[in-house]
Chain A
């Protein structure tokens, strides 16, 4: 009986130690800068390989989940019409040529982020994190825990659109054992 109790105590300590040795690690991944997006096909896509990021590589094997996801940068609507910006995510390398095919074949990850005609805005971190789609975040988490190679598509919701993102950054906060 005494040995059984010791085993339970040891297991509890081991479990506690596991959650103690963890943290929330920020990884930022810069996208093409400046990133100019128009409705002209093929649509803009960003091939991401997190394996090129040393912070990600350091913590990848101990990654449990994503604590936070955001897309940041300064975004300018080059059009005289308002537009909503959206980002789609494909877990595998893909090359959908048109916005309609992106919407049909990829998962919506972020948005809509509204821009008035010719408006320039800095995407605030809190606001950006709130625009992440829960289901897509789960899929992104699975991909980040796998090989970290995926594709992002940035498009507008209107038929014609043109906008530029300066210093675009994908920000991931890894919930990882350390």
Chain B
């Protein structure tokens, strides 16, 4: 079964492992018979079927996260060959080998839970704590009768009264909304650190998306703009542009970052002029 028409060399895969959050990392190398066109998820699944490291005895299979398998849940982000990728949407032959092996590590900016699994919840709190606000909730909840019968009688505003949206703004919002919160941009950024530093592209994207939302009130827009200039804000972006390069969801990060920088600069100049 493993011998196909064209015999392929087994893939060498080195996995960084920890049983517990506080354990020091160790590595294990596996030899896997698999086509290089398979995804990293399939590679890990193949290892899990026979978790025997090279020259060793069978071990507990490396743990990794996987759910949607189509690049939309963002749960399976790992570091492969030093680059943050989605395991389900990255082929083995797309990964840069190190000393002949595919090297799989957990994302670097988050605390490790086990093996390749990291704690994303910590990042969520960090974004809150660094005072870039979550997108504001704008409209007070439309009062509707939540009965199965409300054929005509609704209190929600009809479409015509909703603020008109230009198709450009809508496109921007949809494109910025493509962010799957996988954390790749944070992992790739040299300015994002555990102890403060830049909040990272993801938070800026969230901020700009909320700003582009026609339902956001002018006051909230002001607050979103102001947040960009706070500590951890856009001024700490080092323009390495790694985030743009690694983003697996093709979010227009460049657009969000340049818009944020423009806003922060004009706010700074305005403040300076008013002195």
Do A and B bind? no
Q: Which residues of B pack against A, CB within 8 Å? A: none
